[in-house]
Amino acid sequence: MNKLLATLIAGFFAAGAFAQATPATPAKPAAPAVAATPAAPAQAEAKAEVKADAKAAKEEKKAAKKATKKETKAEVKAEAAKADKKAPEAK
């Protein structure tokens, strides 16, 4: 009987230590599925709009970079032409 009582007491201590060591799972409130349904099309529309804006910005950036590159090439050619006119021909 003493061994049984000692085993039960030791078991209760072990269970208490285990219960304190594990974190409690937070309670999740039950959200109704009906409330989430009307917001889904609005979210999809907003997401599509953001995606389109990002794509347009990317295209603008690409076009600006291309234009800058063309301008730089034109400037280099113009400077080279000026340098050719200024440089006396060595014969």
Distance, first Cα to last Cα, the chain: 123
User: pLDDT tens-digit profile of 11-62?
Assistant: 998 888 877 766 666 667 666 655 555 667 778 888 888 999 999 999 999 9
DSSP state letters, 42-90 = HHHHHHHHHHHHHHHHHHHHHHHHHHHHHHHHHHHHHHHHHHHHHSPPP
pLDDT at 87: 67
Using pLDDT thresholds of 50, 70 and 90, give the confidence band for residue 89: low
Buried-state track 73-90, b at ≥16 Cβ within 10 A, e below 16? eeeeeeeeeeeeeeeeee
What's the pTM? 0.40
Q: Name which residue leads in pLDDT, 6 or 79.
A: 6
Q: Among the residues of 22-32, which ranges form H helices?
A: none
pLDDT at 42: 78
Distance of CA 43 to the CA centre of its chain: 17
